[in-house]
Structure 1
């Protein structure tokens, strides 16, 4: 089965919002054995949306739209699908009554424009929306399936899992498509591609590389008639990649730098405290976003100026002697964070990251009763990118310590 995703909304074309729905759906379809060949964004113009739907109809068996199911005049997905399949919209009285009850319960009134969300066509099965007011559609006609999902990502994901996946299971071909993402750090994308070139030439599994703020990712995709065979192909390719890139691999699939660090700390029953300056709270936020972070992360200190560092306990003589951003300063910051919050490890980030330059430096400090260690990293990019790279560099330096991959003194 071939699919096409059509996100709807002029706000996407203008860059006002990021289309995360398509990314989610693109990751979901392979698990159902469905090939995705196109993602075509359309604005809030019915003629152009119908044209987009017609192109999708001619090259896909399954069309999934997201967005355009609201109550306003520019929510035109329902009308466009009706025009595509040559069916007129009508108000479903039962649906409208339920929607009015919902609106009265939560808003105390019923805007008449919401009646648009109670319209449907003959070939549409209405999919309930437990989180919002926009029902979805499942339309089957002439050996095609058209699925209309709401735009808000939480509503879309819930409807996908509860209403769409059960219907799609068994509809696709028997071919199983599985994928795995291998995540690396401290290698350029071109270098990674060069190192794995013997594997990337294979037709099954296929291998693709792409860059993210936390490193270069490699996506392996395997196809087979049986799940067990697809899993075998994935495992074989993953092992080949790990043999080549072992020192640089830090995670797979849904792993994040924060979650990986959290698991390593839990494995050692260690606790962590941080102090940061140039990253403006990003280090703390990244670590705290890990699952159950309160079990290992006691907190972070944000010290954007020398006075804040000194107030937290950093020796003023160190700052005066070495300057406010230096390896010796971050060493003292890490030690201060550890002692203040009474943790096993202290991690600190400082550096020179200005808004008027495209390069800078990050200084990383690590401290415990057993070791003290500092690292220096060169950074390139705009200010936001350099802040992210400084945080990821700090976390991966900590990871190497936790894995005992570097000698500590």
Structure 2
């Protein structure tokens, strides 16, 4: 089954917002047996969206739209679908009562503009939205399906997980497409591509390689009549890859650096504290993206200057001896924060995010320090010389390094 995604919003085309919804949907369709053939960004224009829907219906079996379900004049997804299918919109009495109830429960007045969110065409079935005022639509007509979902990511994710995905899984039969992501670090894309060459070129399963902020990812995609058969096709390729590059593998599928580090800390019953410099607080922020991080994370300090490092417990004479950008200082930062916050594990990050070199160290140099129950480890990185990349890659690598040291301990 061929699928297509239309993301509506002039702000997406102007670069004011990033379209994360399309990638979210596209990543979840293969295992349902839906192959995404096209993804389009459409401005808030009724004629443009109508034309895009007509084209999508002519070449795809199922169309997913995001955005354009709000109460304002430029929320036009309902109108465009009605025009394409030649059906009139009318206020649904059940939906209008649900909307009024939503506003009453929050002690908010309901504007007349919100009435349009209770409108639907005869072919549309409303998809309840517990996170907002815009219900989605499930439309079936002439052998085609249109699934319209709200634009705010939180609302879309909730509708997808609880309403759309289960319905798709129950209704779609035929070929099943399965994927397996293998995540690596500390190996370049070209070097990894050379090592996995024996596993490429088969077509089904297909093996792709992608550079990401947390290393280089490998994706195995297989297609078969059942999920079990598709998984069986993936298994020997995954086994061969692990045998070839297993030393570089840190995670699979939905794993993130912060998630795997958190699991290792919780499994060991360890607490964590961090002292970071060039990452400017991103490490602490990333750690607290993990639900329940308060169970293991004691806190962090952004010691951006040498004075701040010294005040936080790093000996001045050792900074002067080794330099602020050094593995020795990174280890001292990790050790100092453990002492200051009475933590079992500490991370220290120091480096050169730019715009110029520091202490004779080139832009992109990052030193990581790990302290685990009094034992110190360190690693020096040379990352691409772009400030944002230095911060994100240093953060991800520090968490992956922590996880590896905990697994080895």
Shorter chain as denominator, the TM-score bin is: over 0.9
Alignment of 1:278-317 (within 5 A): 278-317=278-317
d(CA) in 2 for partners of 1:369 and 1:31? Answer: 43
Determine the structure 2 residue equivalent to 1:11.
11
Counterparts in 2 of 1:2-81, with a 5 A limit? Answer: 2-81=2-81
Alpha-carbon distance in structure 2 between the residues aligned to 1:368 and 1:319: 21
2:251 maps to what in 1? 251
Contact 1:361 1:376 in 2 (8 A): yes
Alignment of 1:80-229 (within 5 A): 80-106=80-106, 108-229=108-229
Q: Secondary structure at the match of 2:42?
A: coil
**Is the partner of 2:147 in helix, strand or coil?**
strand
Give the drift of 1:105: 4.1
Q: Which runs of 5+ in 2 are unaligned?
A: none
Q: Deviation of residue 254 (structure 1)?
A: 1.1
Give the C-alpha shift of residue 242 in structure 1: 0.8
Moved more, 41-50 or 228-237: 228-237
Of 239-248 and 394-403, more deviation after overlay is shown by 394-403
TM-score normalized with structure 2 length: 0.92
Residue matched to 1:351: 351
| Distance apart, 1:225 and its partner CA | 1.3
Query: Does the aligned pair in 2 maintain the 1:273–1:347 contact within 8 Å?
Result: yes
1:22-63 CA distances to partner (integer Å, 9 max, x unpaired)? 122112222322222111121101111111111111111111
213-222 or 130-139, larger mean C-alpha shift: 130-139
- Displacement of 1:370: 5.5
Q: Please report how far the alpha carbon of residue 172 of structure 1 lies from its aligned counterpart in structure 2 after TM superposition.
A: 2.2
Output the CA distance in 2 between the equivalents of 1:128 and 1:216: 38
Residue in structure 2 matched with residue 232 of structure 1 by the alignment: 232
Q: Is the 8 A contact 1:34 1:173 kept in 2?
A: no
Structure 1: runs of 5+ lacking an equivalent = none
Structure 2 residue 391 is matched with structure 1 residue 387: yes
Question: 2:270, 2:344 within 8 Å by CA — same for their partners in 1?
Answer: yes
Deviations 1:153-194 (A, max 9, x none): 222222223332343234323222111110011122222222
TM-score using structure 1 length: 0.92
Instruction: Compare 28-37 and 248-257 and name the one that shifted more.
Output: 28-37
**Residues 364 and 386, structure 2, Cα contact 8 Å, conserved in 1:** no
Asked whether the equivalents of residues 377 and 393 of structure 1 are also in contact (C-alpha less than 8 Å), the reply is no
Distance verdict in 2 for CA 1:311–1:202, change over 3 Å: same
Which residue does 2:262 correspond to in 1? 262
Match of 1:375 in 2: 379
1:351 positional shift: 1.5
Residue 186 of structure 1: SS of its match in structure 2? coil
Q: How many residues align?
A: 405
Contact 1:344 1:368 in 2 (8 A): yes
Equivalent residues in 2 for 1:331-342, closer than 5 Å: 331-342=331-342
Q: C-alpha separation between the residues in 2 aligned to 1:124 and 1:331? A: 60
CA contact under 8 A between 2:354 and 2:385: conserved in structure 1? Answer: no
Q: CA RMSD in A?
A: 2.1
In 1, Cα distance between equivalents of 2:407 and 2:100: 58
User: What CA distance in whole angstroms lies between the structure 2 residues aligned with 1:260 and 1:238?
Assistant: 20
Q: In structure 1, how many angstroms separate the alpha carbons of the residues matched to 2:397 and 2:382?
A: 10
| Residues 394 and 160 of structure 1, relative CA distance in 2, 3 Å threshold | closer
Q: Classify the secondary structure of the residue corresponding to 1:40.
A: strand
